[in-house]
Structure 1
Amino acid sequence: MLAVTVPDRPSPPDGPLAVLVNPSASRGRHRDLLPHLLHRLAAVDRPVRVLTADGGAGAESACRRAVAEGAGALVAVGGDGTVHRALQAVAGTGVPFGVLPVGTGNDFAADTGFPTDPLAAADAVVAALRAGRTRPVDLARLTGAAGAPRWFGAVLAAGFDAIVNERANRMRWPRGPRRYDLAILVELARLRARRYTLRLDGVVHELDAVLVAVGNCASYGGGMRICPDADPTDGLLDVVVGGRFDRRTLMRVKPSIYRGTHVRHPLVRCFRARSVQLTAEGITGYADGERVLDLPVTVTAVPAAAHLLR
């Protein structure tokens, strides 16, 4: 396995604070809160540079540019999708990173210890910056057959949930959460187990499965604890596989994912590894809720790849 070296940066420099803002996070419900959050962040007594962009690719480019131009820290104001874009810029750089959770899903922020209240999170980020304090956490490095590597902080979905996301993204109607609900119904009607090949630290497992998730953190989808024992500081990835579920069993088990008790079901298997090679036909992975790469992919745990302001 190729080692990935992450530079050590124990204290933040005095460069400007770059703030990635997603005004549409949580469908705009927290837009009026943004001025108050920026006012709290300004208490750090250094320049605050607000980054806005149309779409995910633009946000990612803005973050990369800010880091390249010497940002002393980067803060993401949004949900897991906004965090995912920001992580592409800070991963492996040592640039301190903070999250103000105002999204529909805030799993990375919750699982790494940021306050759930965004104003309290802003105060925590400011306190960490003033003290020169960061806490290292692992990230997952994702590579596929082509293209640049991607990073994720929470969970890679590579089974039924990824298929539902792919269906929902192709639909033009209805709008909002109902589109996702309809996509679930359509894919439930088509539900079938697929053949997966997992190579975990070199050990091969051939499995038929409906659910497959690779977790750096425990949760995805706004609090579903799909990988309940995942720890973003242990240098390992948790892999949870739900086997040959039929429709009725899957829908009966799904609510237990919020509690993390689904792992007790006899059709669920759990693994832990530093490196995961995942192969299946016709699957596009979703990491931190964002569309990433078609399988096959390799996921590698990278210790201390991010330095959090908390």
Structure 2
Amino acid sequence: MAGAGIGIQCVLSDPGIKEWFVSLGTLYVVATPIGNLDDISVRAQRTLREVALIAAEDTRHSLRLLQHFGIETPLAACHEHNEREQGGRFLARLLAGDDVALVSDAGTPLISDPGYHLVRQARAAGIAVVPVPGPCALIAGLSAAGLPSDRFIFEGFLPAKTVGRRSRLEALREEPRTLIFYEAPHRLLECLQDMAEVFGEERQAVLARELTKTFETIKGIPLGELRDWVAADSNQQRGECVLLLAGWEAPEAEGVDSESLRVLDLLLAELPVKRAAALAAEITGLRKNLLYQAALERKAE
């Protein structure tokens, strides 16, 4: 069915043919529990019961959820491997007037889960897309992390290979907003190691693991300590993981105190600027570049 969405749009552009469609269906984007089944909303349950079809990331996983709530709506697969090809199948049902619900294995669809292409195709075809909000691991983790939440950035899953992962982290080194990542449990430790090396071991971090489940863990300590804590307890390397990091803070402006300036002036009286700044740095412990800039300004005066 590749390209079906485009073909359907062309058909609908013909007013005579469009009359055959009495009304279009609605695509509902339905959030489902990330662990605790009690977190499903009444509206989500009603929507899943009333639609004609449920597009699910994994039909076997979603079937267990539906059976738990006594919902008998038919399921069809819509995952990352078939979403583009099967999108036309769901569009055809929507264009025929059937309502369709989109669900992922857990949480809110499209958030590091399939669904983007179907939603995009539906909107392009003039179909109403309605969110049915609910659980989302990154928001749950952020709400309990104790990190600044007024501004944050979600990076999803980092690259699986070390080179790609470190490259992405390097690009985020001076990001001032709170950083949020998803990570697979078998890569958690090596990811924390890379983060500690790139961001520094003192950067505040939070591991939110198995949220809403029996063994929920929310641990907030500096990155170096968090890495060592996870390394020492293999139980922390299991389950669904959300990693949150404090954003970068610019260091306070460093100044040259009066005593250091006195040392610098004495050296400038006898030595070239560069040599005087280097010796002043050794004597005072201040950065050479800072003292070199101060020396240039003193000479100019």
| TM-score (normalizing by structure 1) | 0.31
- Structure with the larger RCO, 1 or 2 (CA within 8 Å, 6+ apart): 1
Instruction: Report which of the two has the higher share of helix.
Output: 2
Q: Which has the larger radius of gyration?
A: 2
Instruction: Report which of the two has the higher share of strand.
Output: 1
| TM-score (normalizing by structure 2) | 0.31
